Amino acid sequence: MEFDVMTRATTWDNVAALARRVEAAGFSGMLFTEGHQVPWMNIAAASMAAPLLHFSTGIAIAFARSPMVSAEIAWELAQNTKGKFRLGLGSQVKAHIVRRYAGTFDKPAAQMKDYVLATKACLSAFRREGPLQHDGGYYKLSLLTEQWTPPRHEYEDVKVDISAVGPIMVRVAGEVADGIHVHPMHSMHYIKNRLLPGLAEGAARAGRDPAKIDKIIPVIVAAGDTPEERALSVKEAKTTIAFYGATPNYAFQFDDLGYIGLRDQLRDCLKTGDTARSQALLTDEILDQFTVVARWDDVADRMIARYKGIAARLVIYLASHWREVDPKVLERWGEVARAVRKAA
């Protein structure tokens, strides 16, 4: 398993400094989310500062841009990182796509399937495997003259991944994606009883081997040698689970585990701003289903025990403050990263 850091776009100087620290600590790569900034320039700056790292988007917002634009960006980043880039795509929610990006949002799983196939059609045309021709329900592409075709390079096998939670999108990943970005709020029950069977079903529809679909899994971790040292990260972990668990898209996992009605309780807390109650509702037993809470010396073993044989890449999720992390703490994470990579 590879071991990455999840971060958000910042200034180029900041991300370059962070990339150098991450590379020196022993991580495999960096995964960038797309929020208030696009990730592309940050990836370029980070890759020039730390050329040994791998880079991915987890996720870039697909429906906000043309499949051709996504393919062109991925092609350029693959070339300049010497093959150390993979494109991770996600749908976002309708309000953002329609009202923030002025884009089209219909049936997200069907639209995402078409988007991935259209992006792959562009990449195929860039490899000169044939003329550009994609005639899907949402995207139609048929014009790409040599003048407008990106030059070929040595790193043309560009991986295209998608994020998925629900059964329909998971099956789409199995049909058309090179990898799947698992949601950070996940239990092993979900992965083993919903995600993996759904991927296999989708792969069977397309005659693919589900074992060849990479699983990219962000993990919520609260590390520290004492309860006091773990307290802040435990609080952040509970806040994350409470936020996602209050919505029906993710909360079915509570029902699967027997925590019936927890979603409604967390939703009420979110509406009223009662963070103390939401923290209390998420007991240690529930927290253990969705996070790794452990002493530093046990973190790597816990992650390996959970994910070996399943994940291609693990990603530390609660990482919004990585550039401010104390060097000693970063070194502890580096020890975890090196142990996880060695175990693979």
Going residue by residue through the chain, which has 344 residues, state the pLDDT in tens, using 9 for 90 and above: 999 999 988 999 999 999 999 999 999 999 999 989 999 999 999 999 999 999 999 999 999 999 999 999 999 999 999 999 999 999 999 999 999 999 999 999 999 999 999 999 999 999 999 999 999 999 999 999 999 999 999 999 999 999 999 999 999 999 999 999 999 999 999 999 999 999 999 999 999 999 999 999 999 999 999 999 999 999 999 999 999 999 888 889 999 999 999 999 999 999 999 999 999 999 999 999 999 999 999 999 999 999 999 999 999 986 556 667 788 888 999 999 999 999 86
Task: Look at residue 317 in the predicted model and tell me its pLDDT.
Answer: 85
pLDDT at residue 318 in the model: 61
Q: pTM to 2 decimals?
A: 0.96
CA dihedral 259, 263, 266, 267 (to 10 degrees): -170
In the chain, where are the structural domains located?
2-225+295-343, 226-294
Provide the greatest CA pair distance for the chain.
62
Residue 323 confidence (pLDDT):
64
List Cβ neighbours of 164 (8 Å cut-off, separation of 6 or more): 170, 172, 173, 180, 181, 182
Q: Count CA atoms within 13 Å of residue 207 on its CB side.
A: 0
Spatial separation of the C-alpha atoms in residues 287 and 285, rounded to whole Å:
5
Give the CA distances from residue 120 to residues 123, 159, 177, 193, 283, in Å, rounded to whole numbers and listed in that order. Answer: 5, 9, 10, 30, 44
- CA 88 to chain CA centroid, Å, is 7
Task: Say what the pLDDT of residue 249 is.
Answer: 86
Under 8 Å between Cβ of 140 and 121: no
- pLDDT score recorded for residue 307: 98
Q: What pLDDT was estimated at residue 191?
A: 98
Q: What topology is assigned to 2-225+295-343 in CATH?
A: TIM Barrel (3.20.20)
Q: Can you give the pLDDT at residue 321?
A: 61
